[in-house]
């Protein structure tokens, strides 16, 4: 998993007008696929997001939390699922924070 600065992520989220979250989720899924061997690759992930009109993103956030747990992170999958319905923009930062903690261990 690649360590990313959360402040840089926030600035990219703001200045790209919502394009960076899509790029981040594809890269993050590719890293999860490489480390856990579960889920789609980057292109498959992108296609699922497009073909399901974003509904797959709700499931993916829960599944990504479970995959992070398998790597040794705290299980926040239920929090990610709830936030996907309430305030979805927070999830990438929470997921990346857990991934950053795994890298520094």
Cβ neighbours of 27 (radius 10 Å): 14
For 6, the token pair is 């959360």
For 78, the token pair is 């239920």
Is residue 1 in some structural domain?
A: no
What's the pLDDT score for residue 54? 87
Angstrom CA distances, 72 to 2, 12, 51, stand at: 15, 28, 32
Are the beta carbons of 42 and 27 closer than 8 angstroms?
Answer: yes
pLDDT over threshold 80, residue 105:
no
Q: What is the pLDDT of residues 30-86, one digit of tens each?
A: 999 999 999 999 999 999 999 999 899 999 999 999 999 999 999 999 999 999 999
From CA 26, how far away is CA 8, in angstroms rounded?
17
Residue numbers of the domain that contains 68: 6-104
What is the domain count for the chain? 1
Is residue 22 in some structural domain?
A: yes
């Amino acid at each position: 998993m690649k360590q990313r600065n959360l402040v840089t992520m926030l600035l990219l989220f703001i200045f790209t007008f919502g394009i960076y979250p899509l790029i981040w989720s594809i890269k993050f899924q590719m890293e999860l696929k490489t480390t856990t061997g579960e889920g789609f690759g980057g292109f498959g992930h992108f296609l699922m997001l497009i073909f399901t009109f974003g509904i797959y993103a709700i499931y993916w956030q829960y599944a990504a939390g479970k995959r992070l747990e398998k790597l040794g992170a705290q299980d926040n999958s239920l929090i990610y699922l709830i936030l996907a319905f309430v305030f979805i923009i927070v999830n990438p930062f929470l997921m990346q924070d857990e991934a950053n903690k795994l890298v520094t261990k």
